[in-house]
Structure 1
Amino acid sequence: MNRTEFITVTAIILFAVFVLGWLASWIIHRLFRSSPASMTDLDHLAEKLHDTEKQRDDALTALRERETALNARLTEAEGELQVAMEGLRESRTEVEELRDYIEKRLARR
């Protein structure tokens, strides 16, 4: 085999491999290519996903606002409870003082 024959055979083999590769690529794209209908479905699903994520974000924001409001109300209620408990303590002390005073007055008679 001389040099010219070797180059010719190599060129034919390379061309055949190129044609086989192109043919395989064409067949794969032909089999797995997405149709316009499936692309429309994918677009619709993407839009629904986006809307759902927006609704989720809105719900989380509303939840955080509600939690903040409830925490504020709880803090206010705890403050009012402390004031009421202090007032009750003072009332009990005053009642005890009045009882002692009444008992002393009655004991003097």
Structure 2
Amino acid sequence: MNRTEFITVTSIILFAAFLLGWFACWLIHRLTRPTRADMGELDRMAQQLHEAEEARDLAIAALEERESALMTRLIDAEGELQAALEGLRESRTEVEELRDYIERKLARR
């Protein structure tokens, strides 16, 4: 076998390998291609996912709104508590002053 025959045989073998690889790729692509039923199922799943995301977004918005309302109520309740505690302190001070006054009046008798 001379050099020219070797190059020719090698070229034919490489071309045959290329054709075999191309055919195998085409065959695999043809066999693994999704069917119309699969595409319909994927479309249905995508629609369900979209609806679930919308429901999640609505739930998050409702949660944030509820949290905001509760925080407002909490702030109002804390304000009322501070006002009540301040009133209680003032009442205690007044009661102590009245006791001192009564004790001084009773002590003079």
Q: What TM-score do you get using the length of structure 2 for normalisation?
A: 0.82
Aligned residues: 108
Aligned to 2:26: 26
Please, which moves more after superposition, 26-35 or 92-101?
A: 26-35
Deviation by residue 1:75-101 (Cα, 9 ceiling, x = unmatched): 111111111100000011111111121
SS at match of 2:78: helix
- What is the CA–CA distance in structure 2 between the aligned matches of 1:95 and 1:16, rounded to whole Å? 109
Letter in 1 for 2:69: A
- What is the CA–CA distance in structure 1 between the aligned matches of 2:3 and 2:33, rounded to whole Å? 46
Deviation by residue 1:13-66 (Cα, 9 ceiling, x = unmatched): 344223212220122113211111111111111111111111112211221222
Aligned Cα root-mean-square deviation (Å): 2.0
Aligned to 2:36: 36
Please, which moves more after superposition, 37-46 or 65-74?
A: 65-74
Aligned to 1:48: 48
* Runs of 4+ off more than 3 Å: 5-15
Structure 1: tracts of 5 or more residues without a match: none
Identity among equivalent pairs (%): 66
Letter in 2 for 1:23: F
SS at match of 2:31: helix
SS at match of 1:34: coil
- What is the CA–CA distance in structure 2 between the aligned matches of 1:6 and 1:100, rounded to whole Å? 125
